[in-house]
């Protein structure tokens, strides 16, 4: 009978462990992973408090990370040398330990805040990653039943610790990857800004108005690409960005490049549309080219021009982009076979890259440039068709 009860209890604990491991691996944010680990350790061991110690490879110290219990907040972030204390011994020797009376163990270094929380017994297991390297220690403190921990708890607790180590390693890798991608986008944006400034300086001293105009067009193009990288640098996600917000910045940058902010009114009617970088960059460049054409040919004369940009997602994730404008039709420039400018040739190339259809209604005002394409998560360089 006792064996049946023991088997049933062990199965319940094993099922619980599997459930808790699933919770631990459901997130990639390190702090959330650590909180899940501590929550799981408390449940699986029926303990009053739990802690995760992480090893600082630079200083060779143990860091007490997000401990629970009454004194948790006051001891969080405490550091002590490897090998010191019971947790330090476990980290140095890569061996689990049970100490059911800490007052009789010379390795116990005392409580940080004994007036708030007093340790009676401890269960410790090393955090071993897949390379069998110790990256920290998982510690449970004060068994709730008052009887102390037993050797039969070590296998389950060690299994939890091993899974916790893998989850911590994955979270750290995710943080490093996120930081690296952020730095890449930041550097790309800065490099583009330098190139843009050099071209803009050349345009300022250029005497030929035709050459000056072409230089400013390239400034606007670079600004459009830099805007995407700036947005991704500041974004929580490097796979998607809110293109509605991004497109407003692209238009503002283009108007600024041509000093046209005062003579052109703009309005936006945009739904929240998320695109990845491989669609955001070509779509931003298309918007830039259309706005440049409007500034050069659509809004000629003393009157203030106006255009409205509409963005929405239709059925089957088809993205629609319309630029409606007043002023003059630019159909002649679009359809001219001898057009010396690269703008609409570039739009054609970018549209092919997006697998998009575009058209221009130049017969009846408001004149409208329309673009539609299927939303895609395909990978690859954002300018792979150039």
Report the relative pairing of strands 134-143 and 47-56 from DSSP bridges: antiparallel
Q: Which helix (H) or strand (E) holds 50?
A: strand 47-56
Model pLDDT for residues 19-64, shown as the tens digit of each residue: 666 667 667 777 888 888 888 888 888 888 888 999 888 888 888 8
Of the pLDDT bands very low, low, confident and very high (cuts 50, 70, 90), residue 385 is very low
Whole-prediction pTM = 0.54
Q: What is the pLDDT of residue 4?
A: 44
Cα 328 to Cα 163, 214, 295, 359, distances in angstroms: 66, 21, 10, 16
Model pLDDT for residues 122-131, shown as the tens digit of each residue: 999 999 988 8
- The architecture that CATH gives domain 2-172 is 2-Layer Sandwich (3.30)
Q: What number of other Cβ atoms are within 10 A of residue 292's Cβ?
A: 23
- The architecture that CATH gives domain 206-374 is 2-Layer Sandwich (3.30)
Of the pLDDT bands very low, low, confident and very high (cuts 50, 70, 90), residue 179 is confident
Model pLDDT for residues 72-105, shown as the tens digit of each residue: 565 667 888 888 889 999 999 999 999 999 888 8
Q: Is 3 helix (H, G, I), strand (E, B) or coil?
A: helix
Tell me the C-alpha distance between 126 and 88, whole Å: 10
Segments making up each domain of the chain, as ranges = 2-172, 206-374
Closest by Cα among 77, 30, 72, 70 to 53: 77
pLDDT higher than threshold 50 for residue 2? no
Q: What is the pLDDT of residue 5?
A: 41
Residue 103 has what DSSP assignment?
A: G
The per-residue pLDDT of the chain, averaged, comes to 80
Tell me the C-alpha distance between 51 and 257, whole Å: 56
Tell me the C-alpha distance between 319 and 80, whole Å: 56
Q: Is 192 helix (H, G, I), strand (E, B) or coil?
A: helix
pLDDT higher than threshold 60 for residue 367? yes
């Amino acid at each position: 009978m006792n064996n049946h009860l023991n088997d049933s209890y062990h199965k319940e604990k094993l099922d619980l462990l599997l459930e808790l491991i699933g919770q631990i691996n459901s997130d990639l944010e390190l702090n959330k992973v650590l909180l899940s680990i501590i929550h799981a350790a408390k449940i699986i061991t029926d303990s009053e408090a739990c802690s995760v110690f992480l090893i600082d490879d630079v200083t060779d110290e143990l860091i007490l990370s997000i401990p629970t219990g009454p004194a948790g907040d006051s001891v969080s972030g405490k550091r002590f040398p490897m090998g010191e204390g019971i947790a330090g011994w476990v980290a140095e020797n890569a061996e689990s330990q049970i100490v059911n009376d800490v007052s009789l163990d010379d390795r116990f270094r005392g409580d940080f805040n004994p007036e708030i929380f007093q340790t009676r017994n401890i269960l410790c297991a090393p955090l071993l990653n897949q390379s069998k390297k110790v990256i920290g220690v998982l510690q449970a403190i004060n068994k709730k039943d008052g009887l102390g921990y037993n050797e039969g708890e070590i296998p389950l607790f060690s299994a939890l610790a091993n899974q916790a180590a893998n989850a911590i390693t994955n979270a750290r890798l995710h943080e490093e990857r996120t930081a690296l991608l952020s730095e890449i986008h930041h550097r790309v944006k800065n490099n583009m800004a330098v190139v843009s400034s050099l071209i803009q300086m050349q345009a300022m001293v250029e005497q030929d108005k035709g050459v000056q105009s072409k230089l400013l067009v390239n400034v606007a193009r670079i600004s459009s690409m830099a805007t995407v990288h700036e947005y991704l640098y500041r974004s929580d996600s490097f796979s998607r960005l809110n293109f509605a917000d991004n497109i407003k910045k692209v238009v503002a940058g283009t108007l600024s490049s041509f000093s046209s902010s005062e003579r052109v009114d703009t309005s936006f009617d945009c739904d929240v549309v998320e695109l990845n970088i491989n669609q955001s960059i070509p779509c931003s460049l298309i918007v830039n080219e259309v706005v440049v054409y409007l500034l050069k040919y659509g809004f000629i004369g003393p009157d203030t021009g106006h255009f409205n940009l509409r963005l929405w997602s239709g059925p089957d994730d088809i993205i629609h982009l319309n630029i409606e404008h007043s002023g003059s039709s630019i159909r002649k420039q679009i359809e001219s076979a001898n057009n010396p400018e690269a703008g609409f040739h570039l739009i054609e190339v970018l549209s092919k890259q997006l697998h998009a259809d575009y058209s221009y209604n130049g017969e009846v005002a408001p004149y409208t440039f329309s673009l539609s394409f299927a939303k895609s998560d395909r990978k690859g360089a954002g300018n792979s068709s150039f």
